[in-house]
Amino acid sequence: MPDVTIIDVSPRDGLQNDPKPISAVEKSQLVRMLVEAGVHKVEVTSFVHPLKVPQMADASQLLEMLKSVPEVEAIALIPNLKGYERARNHRLSEVNWVSAATETFNAKNIGMTIDENMEQFLQVLEKAKEDGIKTCFSVAVSFGCPYEGEVAEVQVLDIVKCIKEAGVDRIGIADTIGIATPDHVERLMGKVLEIAGETPVAVHLHDTRGLGSANAYAAYRAGVRIFETAASGIGGCPFAPGAAGNLATEDLVYLFERMDISTGIDFEKLLDAADYAAILSSKNPLGRIRHVERKQEKGNRG
């Protein structure tokens, strides 16, 4: 068994805000390449309203195409009850629900208060248990909010306590605007893990300020063993001016493997998937290791 689990979110979080239309066929190919590399847990799409996020309008089509890839443990983000009703008709290993740690972020991006969001999630949780679908509850802007600034740890921990008691299957803690520092990550994640107990905890990091890998290692030191990343570092929060993108999957895999922390991922095949993700994205890919490795390959051939 690998020492850590990597969940790649590039088909959803990496592409959802891209202005260039990307077909379901292309997204399916990206998922297939990730699975071929050994990344079996993939957040493939979102069941948000198509008018709000046109890039995710092909959610059902994409999941139908992935029926031929039994190795993928498909995860879909759902924003509300209606989204869950659409998602439950497909083969999914998990649905991911998001609430922010601040009221302003929730109001602007989800259209609900924290309490209203929680009330609706509890209804989804009950339905998901009946349907045999696992749930993840992700807490956005856990380390800082673009509207409210610093986020008190108690705001995050209170939500974690509530969803732990409700019986969620996984807890996600997100640095949505890439503002975290290693000391903050290690301290907060240690407290989250203490509350979570046996419930798995993941960290979702953005590399906006170049600290993604350092923050991931800080989370690992705290005891986190599940990491959400995006091939080639594509995507990122549209509400953080100048935000670079998600922590690149290949950057984190490189770090862990060099430290003899096994990921179960074929690095060379992962680089191929990262190359493809970079081609699909219309934005400048953030991943660093991919550029170094490809330049080295060209140098060796020369």
Which CATH number is 166's domain given?
3.20.20.70
* Beta-ladder partners of 99: 139
Residue whose C-alpha is closest to residue 133's, from 144, 145, 124, 146: 124
Judge residue 39's burial from the number of C-beta atoms within 10 Å of its C-beta, 0-12 exposed, 13-18 middle, 19 or more buried. buried
Q: Are 5 and 225 in contact, with CB atoms under 8 Å apart?
A: yes
Q: How far is the C-alpha of 181 from the C-alpha of 159, rounded, in Å?
A: 21
* Structure tokens that stand for 54 in this block: 């046109």
Provide the β-strand partners of residue 230: 248
- Count of domains observed in the chain: 1
pLDDT for the residue 283 = 80
Cα 173 to the chain's mean position, in Å? 10
Q: Phi and psi for 16 in degrees, rounded to 5?
A: -60, -30
Domain interval for residue 251 = 5-301
Helix (H, G, I), strand (E, B) or coil at 242: coil
* 237 carries an active-site annotation: yes
Spell out the per-residue pLDDT of the chain, length 302, in tens. Answer: 999 999 999 999 999 989 999 999 999 999 999 999 999 999 999 999 999 999 999 999 999 999 999 999 999 999 999 999 999 999 999 999 999 999 999 999 889 999 999 999 999 999 999 999 999 999 999 999 999 999 999 999 999 999 999 999 999 999 999 999 999 999 999 999 999 999 999 999 999 899 999 999 999 999 999 999 999 999 976 655 555 689 999 999 999 999 999 999 999 999 999 999 999 998 876 677 776 665 566 556 55
Q: What angle do CA 162, 44, 180 make, to 5 degrees?
A: 55
d(CA 293, CA 127): 46
**Catalytic residue from among 136, 145, 162, 237:** 237
Structure pTM? Answer: 0.95
Per-residue pLDDT at 238: 61
What pLDDT does 287 receive?
73
Contact between 12 and 44 under an 8 Å Cβ cutoff? The reply is yes
> What pLDDT shows up at residue 296?
63
